[in-house]
Amino acid sequence: MMKKKVLTVDDSRTIRNMLLVTLNNAGFETVQAEDGVEGLEVLEESDPDVIVTDINMPRLDGFGFIEGVRRNDRYRAIPILVLTTESDPEKKNRAREAGATGWIVKPFDPTKLIAAIERVTA
């Protein structure tokens, strides 16, 4: 089976690296972006199977990024998991309105993250 490709969008180097290690160990291919703007660029180049994004990022935040992804016909239905420390219902709702598929609260449990990704890409 082809490796599934995960696009991770997070301005924190720490989190990006953790995701990289976690996802690679779980047999995923990983592409990274530092913020929403880069995320949208990388999206086009890398054609991922699933996106894991942060909310608070410079330039273009997670909400804007998700909206941008959904606006692209090709990615209207790609699963987008929000990985954030926020658990504010209002923020969740905004992410939801923007088109997010799921919401994972940091600190993420690698097992749960993998499970979530596998679930949405099954």
Partner 1 sequence: MDMNEIKEIFFQECEEQLAELESGLLALNDGDTDIETVNAVFRAVHSIKGGAGAFGLDDLVGFAHVFETTLDCVRSQTLEPTQDVLKVMLRSADVLADLTAAAREGGSVEAERTAVLAKELEALAKGEALPAAPVAAAPAAAAPPPVVASAEPVSEPTDESGFQPVPFSFDDFSDEEGDVSAPVETTGSESYSNKFTVRFKPRSDLYANGNETVLLLRDLAKLGEMRVRCETDGLPAIDKLDPEGAYLAWLIEISTNSAEDEIRSVFEFAEWDCQLEVTAGEPGVEMPETAAVEEPEDAPMAVVPFDLSLLDDEPAAAEAAAPAETDIAQVTAASGEPADAGQPAPELPAATAAIAANAEKQKAAAVAAVPAAPQTIRVDLDRVDRLINLVGELVINQAMLAQSVVENETGGASAINLGLDELQQLTREIQDSVMAIRAQPVKPVFQRMSRIVREIADMTGKTVRLVTEGENTEVDKTVIDKLAEPLTHMIRNAVDHGLETPEKREAIGKSREGVLRLSAKHRSGRIVIEIADDGAGINRERVRQKAIDNGLITAEQNLPDEEIDNLIFHPGFSTAEKLSDISGRGVGMDVVKRSIQSLGGRINITSTPGKGSIFTMSLPLTLAVLDGMVVTVAGQTLVVPLTAIVETLQPEKQDIHSFGSNQRLIAIRDTFCPLVDVGHILRFRPHYADPVEGVALLVESEGGGQRALMVDAIQGQRQVVIKSLEANYTSVPGIAAATILGDGRVALILDVDSVVAASRGQSMRGEMSLAAAG
Binding site for partner 1 (CB under 8 A): 1-2, 4, 11-15, 17-18, 20-21, 36-37, 40, 47, 49-50, 54, 56-60, 64, 67-68, 70-71, 73, 76-81, 84-90, 92-93, 96-109, 112, 115-116, 118-122
Task: Using the minimum distance from each CB to partner 1, give the nearer residue, 7 or 11.
Answer: 11
Number of Cβ within 10 Å of residue 52's Cβ equals 25
DSSP state of 14: H
Distance separating alpha carbons of residues 85 and 43, to the nearest angstrom: 23
Q: How far is the CB of 96 from partner 1 (least distance, A)?
A: 5
Pairing assessment for the beta strands 29-33 and 5-9 based on DSSP bridges: parallel
- Closest approach, Cβ 77 to partner 1, in A, equals 4
Q: What pairing do the DSSP bridges indicate for beta strands 29-33 and 80-84?
A: unpaired
